[in-house]
Chains A and B, each alone.
Chain A
Amino acid sequence: MDIVVLVKQVPDTESLVQIADDGVSIKTQDIKWIMNPYDELAVEEALQIKEAQGGTVTILTLGPEKAVETIRTALAMGADQGIHICDPAAEGSDALAAAKLLAAALKDLPYDLIIAGHRAVDEDNYQVAAAVAEFMGIPQISMVNKVVVSDGKITCHRTIEGGTVVVENSLPALFTTQRGLNEPRYASLPGIMKAKKKPVDVKTVADLGVDGGSVGAANRKVKIKAFNLPPERQAVRMIQGEAAADKAAELLKILHEEIKII
């Protein structure tokens, strides 16, 4: 079973995000960068399938030079090799262009299964994996919290509002991860040492045969016009009272009579 995992380096979810001077991007200094949390689940699932069934796990990422750190993290967890699409011309690509680049890299790779996070927690587009599946002409199964792969088939539990749908597809296929799928392992020290020797292939836009005029910040279909911080709320109104019962009565009065919400 040859598995490709799509990963992305993103700001740590515990980071405070600040708007850069250009007003359409974030300040990148002082940010701790991590592997997208949903991609960690994808790497873990790929490793578990490989451990049970044999095969290879390839990590594919698109990002600036430092994104190689994320590939190294996945290699330290146990993946075999990395491919890093790294080209200033690709920076700032929107989801559709990112998917085109990833799909172009996948065309040269043998794979039975592609696994990705259901969204990256930076742009929150929920889109790249679906677009990659479309460009590769394979089925996608989104937000999966349980998966069984056997006999050339994949059975996925897809989470939807209020439940799950169990669906079956034949391979090759792509699925995206949801929390609950597994508990990602930490890289071990020997793993980290080994990862340094594992191959990471760097590809440019030209290497992939993709038209430079269709990717990068200048060619976004979805143009970012402005970044704003969420509106501030008015200062909290602390509810006073002697006992819990007094505070509760006061709160209910506000919710029921003042703002009429219950």
Chain B
Amino acid sequence: MAQGVFAITEQRDGELRKVSFEAVSEGRRVADGLGADLTAVVLGSGIEGLAEELKKYGPDKILVADDAALADYTTDAYTNVLAELIQSSDPAVIITGASAQGKDLSGRLAARLDAGLAMDCVEIKLDNGNLTYTRPMFGGKIVAKVEIEGSPQIVAIRPNVMDIVENSKEPAIEKPAVQVGDLKTKIIEMKMETGDKPELTEADIIVSGGRGTGGDYAAVEELANELGAAVGASRSAVDEGWRPHSDQVGQTGKTVSPNLYVACGISGAIQHLAGMSTSKYIVAINKDEEAPIFSKADFGIAGDLFEVLPAIIAEVKKLK
């Protein structure tokens, strides 16, 4: 009988990513609810130190899969190693982040294990030992409640949504021998943007600009800089070539859940609203008082963003 919870963590360049702490914290909560043990799994090369960091979030056991071939994520090596660890431990529930890595990995893993997968979940509910997963569909226009039959159940959690809870324990740390298997993928190069701008899906604050910017993002960027925020864009702004595709928020772009989303000159097309409606607080700035964006916002300013944004920037500077 399958039992126990696995939380699969994610590291890049030997540093754990934030979604890892979310996965382990959520794993602890689920394991407690099921009366089961939580195992955190970390994969990489020379990453023993990461186990120390994971202790804080309360796993009963930490599996450290350490191999040169696991230094950077590849679908084949990670799936091979995890499938073996999962088959030998037989957990009932597997939690991972719905990050770029987690989405790629969990789809492959689910097929290998013939397991049901709930992707991009924003909530896990426990009711008498039954788990129900809440996941947005249709780009957030629908919120579905799903259950998974059989085991293991794989759940990929949306980054930036679940709480990180410290819950220090003294877990058993194991370093199992791993077989990375026959590897087909060769990593040629990692091209990472420099600077410490947060990534859109992980940012606490997003300042987003749309058609109303007319392509002039100076004020949007300055406000984002002042707030340590990421810059987002509407589809029309991306289609105009004003911003790269990677900045696009919406049903055909990224779905984001920051604490604060500041929409500047964005009218609020239905497919844009779908992508940001799970933000905790939404501020809309738009010339048109009738713009649909105001129907989804908590706070609104009707006005010209080229007057309003500099005034906001000045106020933010006063706080420092």
Instruction: Report whether B253 and A94 are in contact in the complex, using a CB–CB cutoff of 8 Å.
Output: no
User: Beta-carbon contacts of A115-133 to B below 8 Å, as 1s and 0s?
Assistant: 0000001111111111101
Asked if A96 contacts B252 (CB within 8 A), the reply is no
In contact, B244 and A180 (Cβ under 8 angstroms): yes
| Contact A237 B190, beta carbon cutoff 8 Å | no
Chain A residues near B184 (CB-CB < 8 A): 139, 169-170
Q: A126-B120, A165-B189, A166-B191 are in contact. Are A224 and B144 (CB under 8 A)?
A: yes
A218 to chain B, nearest CB (A): 11
Per-residue contact bits, chain B 297-320, to A (CB 8 Å; 1 contact, 0 not): 111111110011011101110110
In B237-291, the 8 Å CB interface with A consists of: 238, 244-246, 248, 250-253, 259-260, 269-271, 274, 277-278, 280-284, 289
**Known contacts A161-B100, A262-B260: A127-B107 contact under CB 8 Å:** yes
**Stretch of A55-63, A189-197, A201-209, A242-250 on the interface side:** A242-250
Any A CB within 8 A of the CB of B34: no
Q: List B contacts of A180 (CB < 8 A).
A: 244-246
A99 to B108 CA separation, bound complex (whole angstroms): 11
Partner of A233, one of B199, B282, B319: B282
Query: What residues of chain A lie closer than 8 Å to B110, measured between beta carbons?
Result: 95-96, 127, 130-131
Given A162-B199, A261-B281, A129 contacting B107 (CB threshold 8 A): yes
Tell me which residues across on chain A come within 8 A of B186, comparing CB atoms.
167-169
Cβ of A143 and Cβ of B316 under 8 Å apart? Answer: no
Q: How far is the CA of A255 from the CA of B205 in the complex (A)?
A: 12
Task: Tell me if B185 and A251 are in contact (CB < 8 A).
Answer: no
Q: Given A14-B269, A121-B138, A222-B118 in contact, is the A179-B245 Cβ separation under 8 Å?
A: yes
Q: Which residues of B sit under 8 angstroms from A238, Cβ to Cβ?
A: 289, 294, 299-302
The distance from the CB of A6 to the nearest CB of chain B, in whole angstroms, is 13
Does B137 contact A123, Cβ atoms closer than 8 Å?
yes
Scan residues 1-47 of chain A and give those whose CB is less than 8 A from a CB of chain B.
11, 13-17, 19, 26, 37-38
Say how far A224's CB is from chain B's closest CB, in angstroms: 6
Return the chain B residue nearest A37 by Cβ: B252
A135 at the interface (CB under 8 A from B): yes
A residues less than 8 Å from B301 (CB atoms) = 238-239, 247-248, 251
| B-chain residues with CB within 8 Å of residue A247 when the two chains form the complex | 301, 303, 308, 311
In the complex, which range does the number of interface residues on chain B fall in?
35 or more
Q: Evaluate contact between A228 and B120: CB separation under 8 angstroms.
A: no
Give CA–CA (A38, B107) in the complex, Å: 17
Main secondary structure of the interface of B (DSSP, over half): mixed
In-complex Cβ contact of A126 among B76, B103, B132 (8 A) = B103
Residue in chain B with minimal CB distance to A228: B143
- Classify the secondary structure of A's interface with B: mixed
Whether B146 contacts A134 by the Cβ 8 Å rule is no
Q: How far is the CA of A129 from the CA of B106 in the complex (A)?
A: 12
Beta-carbon contact of A230 and B278 below 8 Å? yes
CA distance A165 to B99 in the complex (A): 14
The answer to whether B107 touches A126, judged by C-beta atoms less than 8 angstroms apart, is yes
Q: Could you tell me the distance in whole angstroms from the C-beta of B156 to the nearest C-beta in chain A?
A: 8
Contacts of B311 in A (CB 8 A): 243-245, 247-249
30 A-B pairs whose Cβ atoms sit less than 8 Å apart in the complex: A13-B139, A13-B252, A94-B116, A96-B114, A96-B117, A124-B135, A130-B110, A130-B111, A139-B75, A141-B185, A142-B100, A161-B202, A164-B190, A180-B244, A180-B245, A225-B145, A228-B142, A233-B282, A233-B296, A233-B298, A236-B295, A238-B301, A239-B299, A244-B304, A245-B314, A247-B303, A255-B260, A259-B281, A261-B205, A262-B260
B165 within 8 A of A: no
- Return B105 CB to nearest CB of chain A, in Å: 8
Q: How far is the CA of A238 from the CA of B288 in the complex (A)?
A: 12
Q: Residue B145 contacts which of A11, A37, A164, A226 (CB distance < 8 angstroms)?
A: A226
Chain A residues positioned under 8 Å from B175 (CB to CB) = none
Query: What is the bound-complex CA distance between A224 and B227, given in angstroms?
Result: 40
Instruction: Give A43 to B183 CA distance when docked, in angstroms.
Output: 28
Residues of chain A with a CB closer than 8 A to B148's CB: 221-223
Of B74, B110, B188, B304, chain A has the most CB atoms within 10 Å of the CB of B110
For chain B, residues 91 to 149, give those with C-beta under 8 angstroms from any C-beta of chain A: 98-101, 103-104, 106-108, 110-112, 114-120, 132, 135-149
Asked if A225 meets B138 with Cβ closer than 8 Å, knowing A180-B245, A244-B303, the reply is no
| Residue of chain A at shortest CB distance from B138 | A17
